[in-house]
Structure 1
Amino acid sequence: MSKTIYPLESTYNLISREEEKIYKPPRYISRFREQVKHEKQLNKASRKTMGPPKVHVPSPDKYLLKHSKEPRLPEKKPFSYGYEGHSKKPPVPARTDHPPMGVHTKKNFVKSNAIENIMAVPRKPQPAYIDTRNGDKHLLENSCLVSKYIKKKDYGQTPEYLQQRREETRREQEEYNNCVKERMKQGAMKQLPEEERQQILQGLKKNWDELYHQFQKLPLVTDTASKKNRKEHLEMKMKQLEKEIEMMERYKIICIANN
């Protein structure tokens, strides 16, 4: 059964109607059309030959010669046999020349070889281990089963770089002490007493403990700008106090300028 839909019956559909005409808008034409055409013709004329209009032509006097681009051998040099002043081989020995004969040695090679073998030190076998039933053998030194490093000559000794660092620290301390003594002789500085130095050091450590106590009370999540700034401010203060504490502990002699 077809499902064709028909319009509703009406008498108005019998009245003839005028056909509606569709009017298109005018076509767009750019006002720069003629200018673009002119510029296109100007730029196109200079490349009509698939390249620049003027090409450098080589001179007719510098034409390509035959075999000019082939590799050439180096210049010929006079031949010699390795020693100067002789262009020929050394002469062949004459027939009347005789080689040195009758030279004998009294050495008994059999006896000397036997003595060398008897006096030779036997070679020690390298320690090895077997890890399979087929007899696969490997060196024991590289197996990490032998205490290898404790047998070194410098085992248990202070490394050289630490000794050099200690020497540099001692030299710097001596230079600082000498400089302080010279300033004290001039009267421009006075030495800080040991009691005051200890009091200042204890005060710095106490301040650091208070800041650290405040730092531990901060929340784990810094999701706001105020929390972040507070944390950075405490960290900066703690770092500054750590530097001052390290300086007070490192230098036993501290001088203060006279006001």
Structure 2
Amino acid sequence: MPTQRAQERSCNVLPCLEEKPVKPPRYTSTFRPSVKLEAEKNKAQWKTMGPAKVAVPSPKNFLQKHSKEPKLPARKKEQDSKKLPALSVPRRTDHPVMGIQNKTNFIKTNAVAAITSLPKKPQPICVDTRQGDKYLLETSGLVPKYIKKKDYGVTPKYVTRRNEEMKRAQKEYEAGILEQLKKRAMKQISDEERKSLLQGLKKNWEEAYREFQCLPVQIDTITKKMYKEKLESQMKQLEHDIEVIEKHQVIYIANE
């Protein structure tokens, strides 16, 4: 089949212009200027990068060689160096050592003083390893210097004070217990009280026995029977008490 060609038109001959889509304006916050102004106010320019302006050093004050090394003090003048030290020559009032007089040569006098002087005592040390490691003996704690003190072994004042207070409290406690025991202790009755007590018990027994003898021969009621039993028990208890008092000469009673 023959190919169909597009119909030729005048609008197809001219090139068509492409219309680009127009973008909407970008969103900007209404608070943007106020936030920007606040950030500029609170910003510190030298916080991370140093101060804004630094004084430029002068080219004359450059770092010289050996300028930072320690320097020796300046030498004195020649006149000062010619002077002898004040204590090098002995004075007229100084006495020679051990009566040795040598006016012309004081060096010999100094030598004699050095020879006759006592030598310095070495510091006591302690060696504790094969390699020779040593340390001072006085500060090591091995020297018993604390036991040589005047107050060594003396009980402190606060300890003695506390012990005295404890002893005083113990004595007060014991005294209180003794008082309570004395209050609760048993009291010994005298012979007169014992005799009067014994007479009273016998008198009560006689009265109970008289009442018992007055009972009728025929006891036919419960009341009579109970009264008879009461008298018998009373007489029995009185007989027991009388026997106990007569048996024991010394009797104690408890304090109320």
TM-score, normalized by the shorter chain, greater than 0.5: no
- TM bin, normalised by shorter chain, reads under 0.3
Max radius of gyration: which structure? 2
**What TM-score, normalized by structure 1, do the two folds share?**
0.28
